[in-house]
Amino acid sequence: MSTEGKGPVRRRDAGRSRELLLDAAAELFGERGYDRTTTREIGERAGVDPALIARYYGGKTQLYIAVMRAEQGDAAPADLLAPGRLRELLDRLARRGPGPVFRAAALPHDDPVVQDAARAQLHDRLVTPLREHFTREGLDRPQLRAEVAVAAFVGVVLARNGGAFEELAAAEPEELVALVHELLQGTPGR
């Protein structure tokens, strides 16, 4: 078959398309959540055919999981009490809103695969590093302490983002970091 008279064959850059889809999905999932985001919207924001989501990721659920994993990155996360960690998270959340991992802590997802992946990421990123911190400190029940602390932090983040508490929503980041750090560091019942 001759290709004469036809325009140049356009080659797809699979790596770039995957990256564009991942970035667009991260933005939309952060803005609207999983349920209110469509594959068509992701494709439109990415500037690529939404059918590529199925080709590169297997579907919307797998793309959602890929977004959660990409947000974690390769480095082991620091615990919430590590210098700068709270500020880093609060700054990121102020820019993008609470993403899938934070939402999974408060609202179970309808899709058990997504819920399990979000739960695993929540524990890998926040609970486990804090549990290890509390273990090094010699505190009793470090897992329970870590879960309570992370639940408190997630609650603060979701409440700040939801706007139900005016002063919390308007608080300067440094003030909020100090208050949350104080809250998380409290060690009653040693």
- Shared domain for 38 and 82, answered yes or no, is no
Q: What is the pLDDT of residue 188?
A: 54
Last-in-domain residue among 33, 50, 73: 73
- Shared domain for 85 and 179, answered yes or no, is yes
| CA separation for the pair 27, 20 (Å, rounded) | 11
Q: What is the pLDDT of residue 2?
A: 46
- Shared domain for 60 and 79, answered yes or no, is no
| CA separation for the pair 88, 179 (Å, rounded) | 15
Q: What is the pLDDT of residue 40?
A: 96
Q: Which residues lie below 8 Å from residue 67, measured CB to CB, with a gap of 6+?
A: 22, 25, 26, 29, 99, 100
- Shared domain for 144 and 133, answered yes or no, is yes
Last-in-domain residue among 53, 73, 93: 73
Query: What is the domain count for the chain?
Result: 2
Q: What is the pLDDT of residue 186?
A: 64
Q: How many CA atoms lie within 13 A of 168 on its CB side?
A: 15
Tell me if 6 is assigned to some domain: no
Tell me if 7 is assigned to some domain: no
- Shared domain for 130 and 44, answered yes or no, is no
53 with 21: CB under 8 angstroms?
Answer: yes
Q: Give every residue of the chain whose pLDDT is below 50, as ranges.
A: 1-3, 7-10, 190
- Which domain does 83 fall in, by range? 75-190
pTM: 0.72
- Shared domain for 45 and 85, answered yes or no, is no
Q: What is the pLDDT of residue 190?
A: 46
Last-in-domain residue among 58, 73, 88: 73
Q: What is the pLDDT of residue 101?
A: 75
- Shared domain for 122 and 188, answered yes or no, is yes
